[in-house]
Chains A and B, each alone.
Chain A
Amino acid sequence: MQAMVRYILRRFVQFVPVFIGVTLLLFAMRAILPGDPVLMIAGERAISPATYQKIVENNHLDEPLHVQYGYYMSGILQGDFGHSYQKGRSVTSIFADKFPYTARLAVAAIAVEIVIGLTVGIVSAIKKYSFMDMLLTLSTSVLVSMPVFWLGLLLQSFFGIWMKKVTGGAFSLPISGAGGPISAYPDWVHLILPAITLASVSLAVTARIMRSQLLEVLSQDYIRTAYAKGLSKRDVIIKHALKNAMIPVITFIGIDFGSMMSGAILTESVFSWPGVGREIYLAITARDWPIVMGGVVIIVLIVMAINLLIDISYALFDPRIRYGTNRAD
């Protein structure tokens, strides 16, 4: 247990250089990109030299870059990610609004991915080379190669438009937004299509990893040992095979969850989902740098935290992974 705490602390220390690297990179990008930040802050309108000067001073734009970086970092440490150029709001308050939507979508998508992906993978491994297996493997191949935005558009036109027409308006799924008071649908219904779209590719990958891992584990000697003890096939798979096969699957799902939590730009854009990814996408097109920088920094923090959680969860599945000790074997 002590070793585990030490390991976690050490990982936190490792966050520091990653964090500095990412922020430096973003700062450098802002500096080399064309365009005068003062004009962007002013909304690209003509302004008086006095106003111009005031904006420069307020934003420390007259200071050298490394000093500006110092201001920015000290702001972050106090929880201040700056203000949006165009919205006049603090970056933290913007993301505080957007993040719950992204999180809701990510949780829904990861649930779809886990339930369907694992089931498909397990079924096709157990029934390997059967018609069912070939059908499922073919489906996952199609899904993997399908661009996300295109799948989103297909689902929209099928469930949102075609269904509505065919059923005379009796049944359809919402294709835009996250619900709210003006929507005709309950909020959770709005999640269905974006969650399926966001989960699609990863679901297929999860199923394939699960299938290949389970097949590999099922050919291991200890599976034969389990059969030799008199266990039933069901018990062998559930008790002896799955736990061993899960480790790579968990890695993939965990990393995927991290990237979903940091916003799915394509899915959120196609479904006008008011999440982090869409916000950053809009900020990039509008060159609203504080939002882009603040957004990326927040994403980095989230991804690092989730990766740490994944690493810790390995230990629960594989006793050979023991953190904080140096074992020769």
Chain B
Amino acid sequence: MVDSAKDTLNSEQLPAYENLLELEDLRVHFHTQDGVVKAVDGVSFSLNAGETLGVVGESGSGKSVTALSILGLVPMPPGQIAGGDIRFKGQSLIGMKDKDLRQIRGNHIAMIFQDPLSALNPVYKVGKQVAEGLRIHRGYNKQQANARAIELLDMVGIPNPEQRVREYPHQFSGGMRQRAMIAMALACEPEILIADEPTTALDVTIQAQIIELMQRMQHDLGTAIIMITHDLGVVADVADRILVMYAGKPVEYGTADQIFYEPLHPYTWGLMRSIPKRTIDDDKPLTPIKGNPPSLINLPPGCAFSERCPYATDRCREQEPSIKLISDEHFSACFYSDDEEFILNSPIYDDAEELKAQAAAGMLYTGIERDAEDAEDAGGAAQPAGERDNTASTQAGESNG
């Protein structure tokens, strides 16, 4: 089972760095004609080796900008690091010389993106792109790089890798491309893999396979993962800890169990009630969060979520709550999070058990129940995923023509 694989990993002796990556009060602002957009406004978290952090929020919550700023990939201008620090193994990445930062990119911290088609260069063969990092960071020559690219493609479950390295991205299916992206990101065996909505652009049936692949890679290589998604379901059974973001700010931060069983922030409740459930229950309809996230230019005073929050009081609309420790490692940015009565009366607690059960069955992000055999394979065995067979056979035929 997936969870058991994760548990073994957690019980293993981990490498020495306690905090592999630390973000401290990171602020990233964009200067636009309409004003300053505070895309990321005070985000802090730490990531341990081999751990998975889920970063969850709607579009525009600042999660992608947070990820990009870790690698220094935020375009500047218009972007600007307005404050805070990012430390990798204790070393600050902000203000680091481009030459030194390049040593970290791809080598120690790698990233995969939402749309694997546009993230791969259309004019180069997949093998060349997968092994490009090895040529820069490890000084591999062409033959070595090609041989390693074949191994990497094989490792991420791409059949017939000897032929596939010579093909171009457009000859790959969507799922295959994301597998190739993962192979590319893991080429230099980085300590951290940042996955920015890795499954959003994929078919629902492929999403689960990609998540499984990432878990297997994490298990085999000990890579820490930052999984960025708008879908709480995606991180449900993969994340050790979850950071929920809203309007550029962290609103709740805790272990996956805390976020799922004891969510404190009304926004997190809203996200959870938006997850489709396995059974249709007329008493508990899907409850979307009403309205849209606010514009990040000139945020009104008070809590950014107050306009959409069904529990908002005058205090919420006037004063901005800061994120604070509520219980053991569990943070929330709501005035009422330490009000036990308020929390226990929230509508979410009826559903939490069921959601968690669904998450364990891998159903939240697929809507399809995996059978026991499949789930077992996900743990580590190299059993090819269903996607492999059909795409492989059709594409192999095509590319010979």
Interface residue from B103, B107, B122, B136 paired with A222 (Cβ < 8 Å):
B122
Given contacts A319-B123, A319-B168, A327-B398, contact A229 B136 (CB under 8 A): yes
Given contacts A230-B105, A231-B132, contact A222 B121 (CB under 8 A): yes
Among A226, A230, A240: residue with most chain B CB under 10 A: A230
- B179 shortest CB reach to chain A, Å: 15
- The residues in B between 153 and 212 inclusive whose CB is less than 8 angstroms from any CB of A are 168, 170-171, 181, 184
Evaluate contact between A229 and B123: CB separation under 8 angstroms.
no
Given contacts A224-B73, A320-B170, contact A230 B136 (CB under 8 A): yes
Evaluate contact between A230 and B103: CB separation under 8 angstroms.
yes
Stretch in B38-46, B112-120, B256-264, B346-354 with 4+ CB within 8 Å of A:
B112-120
Any A CB within 8 A of the CB of B323: no
Chain B residues contacting A228 (CB-CB under 8 Å) are: 71, 73, 105-106, 110-111
- The residues in A between 145 and 161 inclusive whose CB is less than 8 angstroms from any CB of B are none
Chain B residues contacting A329 (CB-CB under 8 Å) are: 170-171
Chain B residues contacting A320 (CB-CB under 8 Å) are: 122, 168, 170
Chain A residues contacting B107 (CB-CB under 8 Å) are: 230
Q: Across the two chains, which residue of chain A brings its CB closest to B168?
A: A319
Evaluate contact between B119 and A221: CB separation under 8 angstroms.
yes
Given contacts A228-B73, A325-B401, contact A220 B118 (CB under 8 A): yes
Interface bracket on A: 20 to 34
Any A CB within 8 A of the CB of B324: no
Chain B residues contacting A92 (CB-CB under 8 Å) are: none
- The residues in B between 119 and 156 inclusive whose CB is less than 8 angstroms from any CB of A are 119-125, 132-133, 136-137
C-alpha spacing A227/B122, complex, angstroms: 16
- B339 shortest CB reach to chain A, Å: 43
Any A CB within 8 A of the CB of B277: no
Interface residue from A221, A226, A317, A325 paired with B118 (Cβ < 8 Å):
A221
Evaluate contact between A229 and B184: CB separation under 8 angstroms.
yes
Any A CB within 8 A of the CB of B275: no
- The residues in B between 62 and 106 inclusive whose CB is less than 8 angstroms from any CB of A are 71, 73, 98, 102-106
- The residues in B between 344 and 399 inclusive whose CB is less than 8 angstroms from any CB of A are 398
Given contacts A221-B113, A224-B73, A329-B170, contact A230 B133 (CB under 8 A): yes
Chain B residues contacting A230 (CB-CB under 8 Å) are: 102-107, 133, 136-137
Q: Across the two chains, which residue of chain A brings its CB closest to B118?
A: A221
Evaluate contact between A240 and B121: CB separation under 8 angstroms.
yes
Any B CB within 8 A of the CB of A14: no
Chain B residues contacting A317 (CB-CB under 8 Å) are: 123
- A73 shortest CB reach to chain B, Å: 39
Q: Across the two chains, which residue of chain B brings its CB closest to A231?
A: B136
Evaluate contact between A229 and B133: CB separation under 8 angstroms.
yes
Q: Across the two chains, which residue of chain A brings its CB closest to B395?
A: A329
Chain A residues contacting B136 (CB-CB under 8 Å) are: 229-231, 235
Any B CB within 8 A of the CB of A243: yes
Any B CB within 8 A of the CB of A318: yes
Chain B residues contacting A3 (CB-CB under 8 Å) are: 401
Given contacts A224-B119, A318-B122, A320-B122, contact A229 B113 (CB under 8 A): no
Given contacts A221-B118, A225-B121, A319-B123, contact A232 B106 (CB under 8 A): no
Interface residue from B105, B171, B398 paired with A229 (Cβ < 8 Å):
B105
- The residues in A between 273 and 329 inclusive whose CB is less than 8 angstroms from any CB of B are 317-320, 325, 327, 329
Chain B residues contacting A226 (CB-CB under 8 Å) are: 121, 132
C-alpha spacing A222/B117, complex, angstroms: 9
C-alpha spacing A317/B122, complex, angstroms: 10
Given contacts A224-B73, A227-B73, contact A232 B121 (CB under 8 A): no
Evaluate contact between A318 and B123: CB separation under 8 angstroms.
yes
- B90 shortest CB reach to chain A, Å: 20
- The residues in A between 120 and 167 inclusive whose CB is less than 8 angstroms from any CB of B are none
Interface residue from B113, B125, B137, B170 paired with A224 (Cβ < 8 Å):
B113
Evaluate contact between A229 and B121: CB separation under 8 angstroms.
no
C-alpha spacing A320/B115, complex, angstroms: 18
C-alpha spacing A182/B39, complex, angstroms: 73
- The residues in A between 249 and 290 inclusive whose CB is less than 8 angstroms from any CB of B are none
Chain B residues contacting A231 (CB-CB under 8 Å) are: 102, 132, 136
- B136 shortest CB reach to chain A, Å: 6
Chain A residues contacting B71 (CB-CB under 8 Å) are: 227-228
Q: Across the two chains, which residue of chain A brings its CB closest to B121?
A: A222
C-alpha spacing A235/B135, complex, angstroms: 13
C-alpha spacing A318/B169, complex, angstroms: 12
Given contacts A240-B121, A244-B122, A244-B123, contact A227 B113 (CB under 8 A): no
C-alpha spacing A325/B398, complex, angstroms: 10
Evaluate contact between A229 and B168: CB separation under 8 angstroms.
no
- B94 shortest CB reach to chain A, Å: 17
- B63 shortest CB reach to chain A, Å: 16
- B182 shortest CB reach to chain A, Å: 12
C-alpha spacing A244/B169, complex, angstroms: 14
C-alpha spacing A240/B120, complex, angstroms: 10
Chain A residues contacting B401 (CB-CB under 8 Å) are: 3, 325
- B329 shortest CB reach to chain A, Å: 31
- A183 shortest CB reach to chain B, Å: 47
C-alpha spacing A306/B106, complex, angstroms: 43
Chain A residues contacting B106 (CB-CB under 8 Å) are: 228-230
C-alpha spacing A230/B122, complex, angstroms: 19
- B262 shortest CB reach to chain A, Å: 36
Q: Across the two chains, which residue of chain B brings its CB closest to A244?
A: B123
- B67 shortest CB reach to chain A, Å: 10
Evaluate contact between B133 and A222: CB separation under 8 angstroms.
no
Chain B residues contacting A233 (CB-CB under 8 Å) are: 98
C-alpha spacing A18/B159, complex, angstroms: 47
Q: Across the two chains, which residue of chain B brings its CB closest to A219?
A: B75
Chain B residues contacting A325 (CB-CB under 8 Å) are: 401
The 8 nearest A-B residue pairs measured at CB: A230-B106, A229-B106, A230-B105, A221-B118, A222-B121, A319-B168, A221-B119, A230-B102
Listed by A's residue number, 29 A-B pairs whose Cβ atoms lie within 8 Å are A222-B118, A222-B119, A222-B122, A224-B73, A225-B111, A225-B113, A225-B181, A225-B184, A226-B132, A227-B73, A227-B105, A228-B71, A228-B73, A228-B106, A228-B110, A229-B105, A230-B102, A230-B106, A230-B137, A231-B132, A232-B102, A240-B124, A243-B123, A244-B122, A317-B123, A318-B122, A319-B123, A319-B125, A329-B171
A interface with B by C-beta (< 8 Å): 3, 220-222, 224-233, 235, 240, 243-244, 317-320, 325, 327, 329
Contacts A229-B106, A229-B184, A230-B102 aside, 11 further interface pairs with beta carbons under 8 A come to A221-B119, A222-B119, A222-B120, A227-B71, A228-B73, A230-B107, A230-B137, A231-B136, A240-B121, A319-B170, A325-B401
